Amino acid sequence: MQNIVEIAVSNDAFKTLVTAVTVAGLVDALQQPGPFTVFAPNDDAFAKLLPGTVDTLVQNIPQLQRILKYHVVSGAYKTEDLKNLETLTSLEGSPIPVRCGEPFEVKNSTVLASDIEASNGIIHVIDTVILMG
């Protein structure tokens, strides 16, 4: 079974995310045994950001790392596991609101695909880049 990074790299919908994780120096961390739960914004999610935002973040590595770590939680949480939770704490340290209903939402983002299993965790594909605060 592929790990989280290998799944993202093999999926054309995650080109921006893979580039951001690589630039931020987080590839090795996301290849660790974990387990992790990743709320993975697809390329369309990054395209919703204001023009120039991704370029600015690539030039501000500490901020890019904070934002990317906000999309990752320690532990493997499938949809079923999230049904009784209202928040999760991200690796960045801030809470992530979760609403496991119709639709399944993470903060201000809708989950497009859930429970993608990796050797080191779970991936939920989201339609919006989520930010702290």
Boundaries of every domain in the chain? 4-126
* pLDDT surpasses 90 at 100: no
Q: What is the pLDDT of residues 12-64, one digit of tens each?
A: 999 999 999 999 999 999 999 999 999 999 999 999 999 988 889 889 999 99
The whole-number pLDDT of residue 4 equals 96
State the Cα–Cα distance between residues 127 and 11, nearest whole angstrom: 15
Coil vs helix vs strand at 117: strand
Q: What does the pLDDT average to over 117-128?
A: 97
Percentage of residues in the chain having pLDDT higher than 90: 87
Collect all residues with Cβ–Cβ distance below 8 Å to 61 and sequence separation of at least 6: 23, 24, 25
* pLDDT surpasses 90 at 77: yes
4-126: what fold? FAS1 domain (2.30.180)
State the Cα–Cα distance between residues 73 and 88, nearest whole angstrom: 7
Q: Are 101 and 86 in contact (CB under 8 A)?
A: no
How long, in residues, is the chain? 133
